[in-house]
Structure 1
Amino acid sequence: MSLSKDWAPPGETESDLWLERSNLDGMMLGCVAYGILFVLIVQALQSLWRKPRTGRRSWWLIIYVICILILATVGAGTNIKFIEMTYIDYRNYPGGPNAFTFDLYGTPINVADFTAFVLVNWLTDGMMVYRFSMIWNFKPFMIVFPILIFLGSVSMSISLLIGISSPGVGFWSASAARFTIAYWSLTLSLNVILTTLIVGRLWFMRRQMHSLFGKEYTRTYTSIMAMLIESASIVTVFDFIFVVSYARNSNVQNVVLPALGIGQAIGPMLIILRVANGRAWNKDTAAGTRTATGLTWNASGRKNASNTVVPLSELGNKSFGTHNTGSVTKTEGGFNSPSEYDLRAKTTAAAAEEAV
């Protein structure tokens, strides 16, 4: 049996049907993003719950991941419920599903959906600002501007939430549009700036490592930079598509918005996985030192287990100063054996892997 256009909903044009399709497609794409995020969250919680070598669990990270899970689940669930209300429960609303969406966008279930996604955005942007500050050693002149952008996006999102929850305003009104474009533009700018500055610092450290130890110990930087660029580009591309389509009042906005609301947490979750596996930048690294257990050689050429302290802040210098590693004292600019040099390189490379 062939399909007939006569079976289409009566009184709806092709543009009306495209609008309805975009809402359904957006919900499905948001579910895909939720599935990816859920898998990453489960992996992160498993890694964080395992007792680390230090004997202490990072409870604040566990709570952070659980909060992301709760908010993402609430956002995805309420979005599905609003779609059910639009196309099933209140299908005969005067004007059809599209009129229901425009007139009742501020219904509590949909406001809860939007609020959950905004809170996820606060947590993910806040995490990125914190990691950026740590990588740049909390230098005030570097972190003030990103913090101001973050606070600006928070204030714009609060104004947007107040606007869409007010009767008769809606998401597509002129007043809400100003806050919407400002909010997502600030979020987009923040992600681009932070990713660029983080990758720039890693690139600089990679060059210093290359000049000291050669290509073998710079691969970590390349993989980290690739991960950052790839994870940030996902959110950046979706964010850019949404801002442009929303400003042009295109139905594409309905396709990308649910996925953007959930998928924005994927990048920070990848970072937390590195933290949970002991491969992320910590306070010791930010302060410029890293302690690692390894093998050194004493004066007689025998191996000794000891702790090697490598000051990353001195990567730009050809000399490391004097560092005592048990029975061997490293003098400025010198190593007692090629194996010691190789150990120092490996230890410094391990510290480099701490970079997000």
Structure 2
Amino acid sequence: MYVDHADYVFQVSYYLGTLFNALLYGIELVIYIASVHMVMRRGAKPMRSQGTRFLLVFSTGLLLLTTIWGAVEASLGRRMWIANPNYSGGSAVYLAKNAPMGYKIAGSAAAVVLNLMTDGLLLYRCYVVWADVRVIILPCFLYLSTVPLGILTLFVNAVRSEPRLWLGGMQPYTLAYTSVAISSNLLVSALICARILFLARHTRAALGDEAAHMYTNAVALVVESALAYAVCGVVYVVFLAVQSPMSVMFASFYVMFTCLASQMIVLRVLMGRAWTQEAVAHSTTRIQFTTAIVVACPSFDATQNSLESRNGHSRVPIDLWTDAELASSDDHGDSIAALF
């Protein structure tokens, strides 16, 4: 039986997308179980934390939405290849004319909500590492723009039944929604990457390479910025724009990495390795300190409070001040100056 080239590419792409859905879903499940186990292992106290409860609910929501997406894709594949393998016009025509509306709504809704959840989390993480609300004004505007576009895309994809949409045909609403969402994601990822690289230099200077490694290594950079999610999004929107049937495969990658990006951030937060507002504050606060000064002073009166005599030497006590403390107290400045 003759198979149209575009339909053949579509079927292969759909098949590969389904395989990678299963693979990435397994990874998602492992990360989710690890996150839950990490909380349960610490006993009841972490469960009373509002932040921890939110992370568990958030992770569970991600898992449920990803499950819906994967189940819809697998079910449509079964209908296409097993129930109707020889449908006149090809697989894309079958899906366009016979895919249940409930399936299309469930799959599209799961993808849109996953996007909103992940992009919202990334916006918050961007605010955490920058500690400045002005930085996220433009990303917030783009993020809010994806809400009506996502709803419109969901409605159009549910009610329209055109084979060309499955074969990579131009989908104006989907392309507009995806482009805005990925633009927001790229901007936020770039801001997070730039900030982490900036903080890495200051953290190494203040704490040393070993102490700073946990916050500034390559894994931290990739996970905190959701870099894999951003890259998959760019590839997907390119194939969508050129109307390639392969876009269906990259759509699967994009949706699954949407979930994995957030899940890995949640796990990193629960492990205590994610950037926090306190860690950022410590990294950006310049510390001024002096080392102990030991001088030979055999004739010095050891009863004075300012010096301690031991074995013919005197040791000057250490004072440690941050820039904020120095600026707020002239007495502290005089104490530091008196050491030199």
Normalising to structure 2: TM-score of the pair? 0.76
User: Is 1:172 aligned to 2:161, yes or no?
Assistant: no
| Partner residue in 2 for 1:143 | 136
User: Is 1:201 aligned to 2:171, yes or no?
Assistant: no
Aligned to 1:265, what secondary structure does the other structure show?
helix
In the alignment, the residues of structure 1 paired with residue 226 and residue 257 of structure 2 have an alpha-carbon distance, to the nearest angstrom, of 10
Aligned to 1:73, what secondary structure does the other structure show?
helix
Shift of 1:208: 1.9
Please tell me whether the aligned partners of residues 106 and 164 of structure 1 are also in contact (alpha carbons under 8 angstroms): no
In the alignment, the residues of structure 2 paired with residue 17 and residue 105 of structure 1 have an alpha-carbon distance, to the nearest angstrom, of 19
User: Is 1:72 aligned to 2:66, yes or no?
Assistant: yes
| Partner residue in 1 for 2:41 | 50
Letter in 2 for 1:112: A
Which residue of 231, 235, 240 maps to 1:246? 240
| Partner residue in 1 for 2:296 | none
Letter in 1 for 2:3: E
User: Is 1:314 aligned to 2:303, yes or no?
Assistant: no
User: Is 1:265 aligned to 2:256, yes or no?
Assistant: no
In the alignment, the residues of structure 1 paired with residue 97 and residue 44 of structure 2 have an alpha-carbon distance, to the nearest angstrom, of 56
In the alignment, the residues of structure 2 paired with residue 53 and residue 329 of structure 1 have an alpha-carbon distance, to the nearest angstrom, of 41
Which residue of 7, 11, 29 maps to 1:38? 29
Please tell me whether the aligned partners of residues 27 and 258 of structure 1 are also in contact (alpha carbons under 8 angstroms): yes
Deviates further, 173-182 or 185-194 = 173-182
Shift of 1:52: 6.4
CA gap of 1:12–1:133, structure 2 versus 1, over 3 A, is same
Please tell me whether the aligned partners of residues 121 and 264 of structure 1 are also in contact (alpha carbons under 8 angstroms): yes
Please tell me whether the aligned partners of residues 199 and 284 of structure 2 are also in contact (alpha carbons under 8 angstroms): no
Normalising to structure 1: TM-score of the pair? 0.73
User: Is 1:18 aligned to 2:12, yes or no?
Assistant: no
Aligned to 2:265, what secondary structure does the other structure show?
helix
| Partner residue in 1 for 2:321 | 332
CA gap of 1:332–1:168, structure 2 versus 1, over 3 A, is closer
Please tell me whether the aligned partners of residues 134 and 282 of structure 1 are also in contact (alpha carbons under 8 angstroms): yes
User: Is 1:60 aligned to 2:49, yes or no?
Assistant: no
| Partner residue in 1 for 2:155 | 162
| Partner residue in 1 for 2:89 | 95
CA gap of 1:87–1:126, structure 2 versus 1, over 3 A, is same
CA gap of 1:66–1:194, structure 2 versus 1, over 3 A, is same
Shift of 1:283: 4.8
Please tell me whether the aligned partners of residues 129 and 194 of structure 1 are also in contact (alpha carbons under 8 angstroms): yes
| Partner residue in 2 for 1:211 | 205
Measured on the aligned residues, the alpha-carbon RMSD in Å equals 3.0
Aligned to 1:172, what secondary structure does the other structure show?
helix
Unmatched segments (≥5 aa) in structure 1: 1-9, 289-310, 321-327, 335-356
Shift of 1:17: 2.3
Larger Rg: 2
Deviations 1:114-167 (A, max 9, x none): 211221111111111111112222x23112111111111222111100111124
